[in-house]
Amino acid sequence: MKFIVSSSYLKEYLQILGGVIASNNTLPILDNVLFDLSENQLRLVASDLETTISAQIEVSSTDKGVIALPAKLLLDMLKTFPEQPLTFVLEDNGTVEISASNGKYALASNSGDDFPKPILLNEGASFTLQADILATAIAKTIFAAGNDDLRPVMSGVFFQCTPERIIFVATDAHKLVKYERSDIHSSTDAAFIMPKKPLNLLKGILQGSESEVAITYTENNARFSFDNIEIVSRLIDGKYPNYEAVIPKENPNVLTVSRAQFLGSVRRVSIFSNRTTHQIRLKMAGAEIQISAEDVDYSNKADERLSCAYQGDDLQIGFNSRFLSEMLNALDCDEVQLAMSLSNRAGLLTPLDHLDEGEHITMLVMPVMLNA
C-alpha cells in the first residue's frame, strides 16, 4: 500500500478530523485516524463512537488498502513540515514509512478492521441549508444549551423542521434562544436534538463557507454532508420541552437601547456584582435605564445610566449578568429590544436590525429575585 499526498493538504483535513477525537478514549483504536485508500481516493475517518467525521481527499496512488494511524503523532509531525509531497508506504512489518524531502519517518500502524464501522443512513428525510446559515444558527443558539447530565435533552440544540420553516432552539431553563428561518423549509415535519460536540465542529468548519449542506436524519442519527466532508452523529434521545409555553406573549414594557452600550455597561457593572448570583439590577423610567450591582459581602457597588427609548410602566428587574452578556454578545445588531411584563417574569431580547429576510431571533432570560 503506497500513496503520495501534499503535506499541507493532509494536515488541513487531519486538523478538522482531530476535533472529534477525545482525549480520554476508552478504546485505544479511537486515538487513530482511519486511512481507507482506493487508488487515487483516500478516505480519512475519525470517531468517538457518538460522532464520526470523514473526508475524501485526492492522492497519487494505484493501490488499495485500509490502515489506522495515530492522529496526534501524525498531526504533530505535519505541523512542522513546509509544503511538500509526502510518500506513505506500508511495510511488511506493519509500520508505515513516510518519506519527505529531507528525511524518513516510521509510524506504527493498527489494523483498519479494528476501527468502528460507520453508521449508514440510506433511508431518512432530508433537506439542504446554506453553510453560513447553519453556522449562524449554531452560533446563535449553542451557548444557551445546558450541561446537566440529568436532563440530557436540554444539553443539545433542537432542530424543528416543517414545510413552512426551520427552527433551532436551545435552553438550560435559565435562558432560551429560538432561531427561526421562514425562508428555508423541509419537505416533511421532523424534530431531533443534536449534541453540542458535532455542532461545534460544524460551526468551525462552515464559518464563511458558501457550500450547501445536505442534512439527512433518521430516528437515531443525523448526517451532514458538504464538499468532501461528512459528519454523522448520534441524536439525543428524548422529547424536547415545550419551549413555546415558556415564552411570554404579553410584554407591554419595552426597552430599546444600543446593543454595544448596553453590553458594555452590563459587563462593567457585573464586575461589582455578587460572585455567586452575578445579579444586576435594571431600573427603567422615562428615557433612561439605570444598571446597578452590589456585593454586600465585600462592600462593592456600581451604578451606570444609559439613555434609551422606553415605553411602559416604571420597572425594576434583576438578571444574571452572565446570561445577559452571553445573549447580547451573540447578536450582531446595532439596537436591541428588551420586552418585559413583570419583575418576576422572563424578559425577551430581540435584535432590531441586521437580520436577513426570513430570519427571526428570540432570546429569553429568566429574572432573579431582587433584594429589597
**Domain boundaries along the sequence of the chain:** 2-114, 125-244, 247-368
CATH architecture under which domain 2-114 falls: Roll (3.10)
Grid coordinates in use for 65?
A: 488498502
* Confidence (pLDDT) at 189: 86
- To which CATH superfamily is domain 125-244 assigned? DNA Polymerase III, subunit A, domain 2 (3.10.150.10)
pTM over 0.85: yes
* Confidence (pLDDT) at 372: 56
Q: E strand or H helix at 106, and its extent?
A: strand 103-108
Grid coordinates in use for 271?
A: 464586575
SS3 content of the chain, % helix, strand, coil (to 5): 25, 45, 35
- To which CATH superfamily is domain 247-368 assigned? DNA Polymerase III, subunit A, domain 2 (3.10.150.10)
Q: Please give the single-letter amino acid code of residue 300.
A: N
Decide if 2-114 and 125-244 have a common fold. yes
Q: Mean pLDDT of successive 10-residue segments in the chain (372 residues)?
A: 96 96 90 96 96 97 96 96 96 95 94 90 83 95 93 96 94 96 86 96 92 92 95 96 94 97 98 94 95 93 96 96 96 97 96 95 94 64
H-helix segments, 3-51: 7-18
* Confidence (pLDDT) at 62: 95
